[in-house]
Amino acid sequence: DTEVTQTPKHLVMGMTNKKSLKCEQHMGHRAMYWYKQKAKKPPELMFVYSYEKLSINESVPSRFSPECPNSSLLNLHLHALQPEDSALYLCASSQVAAGNTEQFFGPGTRLTVL
């Protein structure tokens, strides 16, 4: 399996809802990432997990809460989001969290916050 998978593909939620995004990889990668991508912009790094430990939080608001239950899974818990949080949320993985390793992206979850 050489892919990163994400569920759901689309998500519409209200500002008071709680939802979760899921990401999975079975390539044996030990680094996993969450990115946010707005239309016509590059992906913007949110979080990095290395060996299941949070290594980077790019000053992301606490309404986004990441979780890495094991080396294959990555979740992003969402609570009390704002309409401006609507975006494509991409998960990625790499063999290790080092600067010169290829990152493989999942297909993303298109999130709409009403």
Which chain residues interact with other proteins by CB under 8 A? Answer: 31, 33, 40-43, 45, 48, 50, 55-56, 58, 90, 97-108
Residues 89/47, Cβ–Cβ less than 8 Å: no
Q: How far apart are CA 114 and CA 15, in angstroms?
A: 6
Compare residues 81 and 91 and give the one whose CB is closer to other proteins: 91
Compare residues 56 and 73 and give the one whose CB is closer to other proteins: 56
Residues contacting 72, CB < 8 A, separation 6+? 24, 25, 26
Cβ 103 to other proteins shortest distance, Å: 7
Cβ 41 to other proteins shortest distance, Å: 7
Cβ 14 to other proteins shortest distance, Å: 24
Give the 3-state secondary structure percentages of the chain, helix then strand then coil, rounded to 5: 5, 55, 40
